[in-house]
Amino acid sequence: MNIKQRVVLMVGALLFVALRLYPPWQSDGSTIEGVSILKTLNSGVERGNGDYPSPVAAAAFHLSHGYALIFLPPDPTHTIDMSRLAVEWLSLVTLTGSLIVVLHKPSASA
């Protein structure tokens, strides 16, 4: 491993630690400032057989709340947005690995 590859690996490792310490946060979207906003899919729309959709068919949605330190979440009810964090980690690993491969110098053959 040459010096450029080592630098890329170290920067990638530092960014990985930074992403772990400063993750994206989300809430389930059921309340905003104490007001319930759960929505029902097709609410009030008759299905054709005379019945209406049940309240169980609630739309599952999440609200993004940006980034904050892992020790200081934006609100105690917010959770880490694992899907967005996984995409960030996968992107970082892919970019770091690609740069390490591109910066590889072929050995001199005799």
Residues 33 and 61 in one domain: yes
Residues 34 and 58 in one domain: yes
Residues 57 and 39 in one domain: yes
Domain total of the chain: 2
72 located within any domain:
no
Range of the domain at 105: 1-23+81-110
Distance, in Å, from the CA atom of 100 to the CA atom of 94, rounded to the nearest integer, reads 10
100 located within any domain:
yes
pLDDT at 40: 42
56 located within any domain:
yes
pTM to 2 decimal places: 0.67
Residue 23, judged by CB atoms within 10 A of its CB (0-12, 13-18, 19+), counts as: buried
**Positive or negative, the Cα torsion across 42, 46, 48, 50?**
positive
Residues 90 and 110 in one domain: yes
pLDDT of the chain, 110 residues: tens digit per residue: 899 999 999 999 999 999 999 999 988 765 555 444 444 444 445 555 555 555 444 445 677 888 999 999 888 888 899 999 999 999 999 999 999 999 988 765 54
